[in-house]
Amino acid sequence: MERRQHQDRQRASMNLELEQHTAVVTGGASGIGLATARAFALEGARVALWDRSERTSETAGQLARETNAEVTGIPVDITAETSVQAATAETCHLFGGIDHVVHAAAIGSGRFGFPFTNLEPKDWRDVLEVNVMGTTNLAHAVTPALIVRRGTMVILASVAGQIGSQTDPPYSAAKAANINFAQCMAKDLAPHGVRVNTVCPGMVQTPLNRGVWQAWHDQAPEAERLSYEEWAGRKIKSIVPLGEWQTPEAIADMIVFLSSARARHVTGQTVNVDGGFVMHW
C-alpha cells in the first residue's frame, strides 16, 4: 500500500495541465481502463467511467474518495448506439463537455487459435460487434463534443493487432481494425484540432489475458497443461526483451501523456507499451 501511494504521488506530480478537463474512459470499471481513470483523476481531471459492469457507480465512488476528484459512473453498452449517445449527453450535461476519450472496453473470443480453424465463424460475431462496432458507435457519438473542445481520443488496441497473433484471431483482427480506424479519424479530425492515437499493450495481467490462458489450458492435452503463472512466465521470458509484465499503470501513464498538451504534435500514431515485444525494422 505504501509503495502504491508513493507511485500515485509520483504520477500526480507529472503536471500535465489536465486540471478541470473532462475525461471519459470506456471499460473504466476495471483493468487498464480503471488504471487510466485513476491516472486522469490524479492529474486533477474530472472523470466519467463508462462500463457495462453493475459495479460502475460503486467503482466511481471509490475512485472519487481515493483521489479527491470528481468521478461519475455511467452504465453503458457500447454495442448499442443509443446507449453511447445517451452517455455522451449525460456526461456533457454533468461536466459541461468532453475533452478526452479513452476507449478501453473490449472482449476476446474466449477461444484459442493455432490454427484459426479451431474456431468457427460464429465465434467472431460478438468480438467484432464489441471491438469494432463498439468503437464505431463511440466515435460517432463523441466526435462533436471533442471538436468543440479540440480534444483527444486514445484507443486501446494491442500488439496482437500488429503482428497477426494466432492466439485469438477475432481479437487480433478487431484490434487491427481499431488501429486503422484511429488513423482514419486522426486524418479527418486534424483540421478541427482533435488528436487520435492508439496505445498497444503487450503482456498485461488482466482478466482478458487470463482468459487467453484459460482457452489454451482447456484445449491442451492434460499432460501439457500449465498453471497460469507457469504459462505466463514462460511466455514473458520468450517474447518480451525486458523480461517482465507490463502493468496497467504503465499503460495508463502513456495514455494520459498522449492526451495532454505535452503530446500536442502527436496524432495518428500507434504507440507500443510492450517491453520491446514488437520492434519495427
Q: Is the pLDDT of residue 213 over 80?
A: no
Higher pLDDT, 206 or 103: 103
Q: Is the pLDDT of residue 130 over 90?
A: yes
Residue 278 lies in a domain: no
Residue 79 lies in a domain: yes
Q: Is the pLDDT of residue 38 over 50?
A: yes
Query: Among the listed ranges 159-163, 202-206, 210-214, which one has the minimum average pLDDT value?
Result: 210-214
Residue 215 lies in a domain: no
Pairing outcome for strands 100-103 and 270-273? unpaired
Determine the pLDDT at residue 2: 42
Determine the pLDDT at residue 11: 52
Instruction: Report the percentage of the chain scoring pLDDT > 70.
Output: 94
> Is the omega angle on the peptide bond into residue 115 within 30 degrees of 0, that is, cis?
yes
Q: What is the mean pLDDT of the chain?
A: 91
Residue 217 lies in a domain: no
Determine the pLDDT at residue 277: 87
Determine the pLDDT at residue 1: 42
- Residues designated catalytic: 171
Q: What is the mean pLDDT of residues 102-109?
A: 95
> Residue 204's pLDDT band (boundaries 50, 70, 90)?
confident
Determine the pLDDT at residue 218: 84
Residue 57 lies in a domain: yes
The string of pLDDT tens digits covering residues 218-231 is 888 888 899 988 88
Q: Contact 62/133 with Cβ under 8 angstroms?
A: no
Determine the pLDDT at residue 220: 84
What residues make up the domain containing 15? Answer: 2-203+249-272
> Residue 145's pLDDT band (boundaries 50, 70, 90)?
very high
Residue 229 lies in a domain: no
What is the DSSP-derived secondary structure letter of residue 153?
E
Q: How many domains does the chain have?
A: 1
The string of pLDDT tens digits covering residues 149-162 is 999 999 999 998 99
Distant-in-sequence contacts of 61-69, Cβ < 8 A, 24+ apart: 63/34, 63/37, 63/38, 66/38, 66/41, 67/38, 67/41, 67/42, 69/40, 69/41, 69/42, 69/44, 69/45
Residue 162 lies in a domain: yes
Please state the pTM of the whole predicted model. 0.89
Q: What is the mean pLDDT of residues 72-101?
A: 98
Residue 89 lies in a domain: yes
* Residue partners of 54: CB distance under 8 A and separation at least 6: 75
Q: Is the pLDDT of residue 6 over 80?
A: no
Determine the pLDDT at residue 280: 66
CATH number, domain with residue 165 = 3.40.50.720
Q: Contact 258/157 with Cβ under 8 angstroms?
A: no
